[in-house]
Structure 1
């Protein structure tokens, strides 16, 4: 190939600028010389064409809102249609060599299959376990078994269509090997890691958010869905106040999501409003201000088949600014944080509160755990380490495509 490899990314569940992982991947590939285009929903509900730090972005109005299975069917059906027509436009306008699809949903294999007939390569970037996400977060454990099996079928179909799979951690790699029947050489682990250079610049430029005098701040940062465990954190706050009589703290919740209204109701019912602050969503550029204001960081995801296999971006961000963590004892939490966290018994708010008290009463331990976490990020988990794995994968893909061009010419590649 004479031109740089052209990559078309498909993203459904976030606007590009709000998805940290996708943005990091796209920017790293663009800096390496790849031509990267992203198709995604727009945060302000309009069609747009932008270029951001070398990445071309085609955005469409987000799907109409809805509840339950019908709402999700409408959302995903609409997004699939929009992604297809934009992909066709990109194919006819500039062409592309690779479709790089981020889930959820596990539907983009339908588009990828069409272009694979034209010789394109399909990379599946596996962000979420959609079947488990359905069962353990969106509809509870009593969700329809038929829907669960249908989602499992779509996930398997996506794996089978994929030439390469990007897994976010070891657990997801095992899913790709066992459930997806992919070979080890087809799977690359690219973790969710913070960009330490950008973080350092932001920390130097921004002052931390002010904390109330005499209060230790317990912080939660991230999307607030029903699977994210913020309700468990609030139950722990209730334990701190009404069981242990602690009033020397503030629980600062930074982020937004579907669970927020029920969380605010929970605070009212538990009469803990004086100890909980809902900040709402903040731009990613100002996130370091809030991270620096935290004295103790909360990762309250409850243990289930879904969360036990997930790597939470918030864990990496907490460690990147040397903050101690309180978490439930989950497999991937331990793989991520190691000795940088204290772990409560799974799904036990009383024990979670007890672990918070341990850190409330020991500033030296907080500092020690924070430094352990910071070192883990610098040595293993930062984006600069994950970026190498991503670029290594695309170097392999480039070599494979170059060989295809050399052996078959350009007929099957439909080079633009």
Structure 2
């Protein structure tokens, strides 16, 4: 009788410590899907992450996964703010790693960036105690820095150096798409056989198709939905310009915009909507529970991804695209490489960073219900048959089989 994927030859579970800094667990959906999949396949899983709204407990066990959280006193803005945030995060993560080491133990550190400094912890335990180190590459931080600050200066070069050290320290790395895999090999110096593409496929038991909630349309005929972070590189200002063009230039007073998500730019975007004279047409929910997110997206006639066309977003796979497709929604986004790879015929592609063209394409879809239905059906079919998490979970287990050659990746799906 063969052992499950996460068990050593003697039957003892392999122990995994996942490090994540930018979101609490289980709110971070990709990390939680990875953790629950590993747990379902025989691994003992612990997570270290920050606290967050609704996730204030410093320790709790959920679905057999042990979560250790630390408090960050600020959400960083600017280079100095990030320096403080990341320094505190590293201190608390290292401190809690020792706590997990003595309480539960771990055989591998699974580090999810940002920041690209977690190799300091993974590398320490690898060199000092022989632990394995897996680098889960969520964001390309050099390009993220350039997108936020618009320059390639000393700090940009430092980001490239930290990224390279992260890859060089790792026994195995995980990429979210082929663009990221190419970076791991060409910029990070990893061997192709040590890099596994594990996309952020949605789980349909979470992204449920629900009846629309008409009240979210605020008495108007149509709703345009967005879910995601309210930050500089997400292009919310461009989306508001598109909304302004639809309302004021085209004279369309039958369209409401529903924007779900929090972030450092949320209050600034609310103020901008006021200044543009479109505040009544835009609903900002902030960060909300899944039920409210699902209500907004299920009620939407069209969903949008206004991510700015830049080097980072061109190479990145956005979770929101997968979520829109899972719910059968037609999409409008700017013409980005990985956005096209994901959505294909489920989306229209506006000229890069052109809010007027985005506005015209939104209206084009609102006025063509048959095309909306066709595009939405294509996207949902693609998720069900190609992109759902069940197709990515075996690739995650294959990466762990590379770390632990004796582990047979016999898949059990998490609930």
Shift of 1:149: 0.4
Q: What is the distance in 2 between the residues matched to 1:387 and 1:363?
A: 35
Contact 2:142-2:157 at 8 Å conserved across structures: yes
User: Under a length normalisation based on structure 2, what TM-score does the superposition of the two structures give?
Assistant: 0.91
Gaps of 5+ in 1: 403-416
* 2:35 is the alignment partner of 1:29: no
Instruction: Give the superposed CA RMSD.
Output: 1.8
Higher relative contact order (CA 8 A, sep 6+): 2
**8 A Cα contact 1:31 1:54, kept in partner:** no
1:132 alignment partner, one of 118, 133, 143:
143
The count of aligned residue pairs is: 396
Contact 1:63/1:79 (<8 A) preserved: no
Alignment of 1:10-409 (within 5 A): 10-43=19-52, 48-65=58-75, 67-117=77-127, 118-137=129-148, 139=149, 141-142=150-151, 145-200=153-208, 203=209, 208=213, 210=215, 211-399=217-405
Per-residue deviation, residues 304-344 of structure 1 (Å, max 9, x unmatched) = 00110111111010000100000000000000000000000
1:387 Cα deviation (Å)? 1.1
What is the deviation of 1:85?
A: 1.3
| Residues 52-80 of structure 1: CA deviation (Å, up to 9, x unaligned) | 11110011112445542222111111111
Separation in 1 of the partners of 2:100 and 2:94? 10
Match of 1:410 in 2: none
1:203-228 deviations in Å (ceiling 9; x for gaps): 46x76463344421000111211111
Q: In 1, Cα distance between the equivalents of 2:219 and 2:74?
A: 45
Q: TM-score, normalised by structure 1?
A: 0.91
Q: Hey, what's the Cα distance between the residues in 1 that align with 2:212 and 2:355? A: 33
Structure 2 portions without partners, runs of 5+: 1-7, 409-415
Q: 1:207 to 1:33 in 2, by over 3 A?
A: farther
Query: Counterparts of 1:239 and 1:92 in 2: how far apart (Å)?
Result: 59
Q: Which residue of 1 aligns with 2:412?
A: none
Q: How far apart are residue 254 of structure 1 and its match?
A: 1.0
Shift of 1:102: 0.4
**235-244 or 319-328, which moves further after superposition?**
235-244
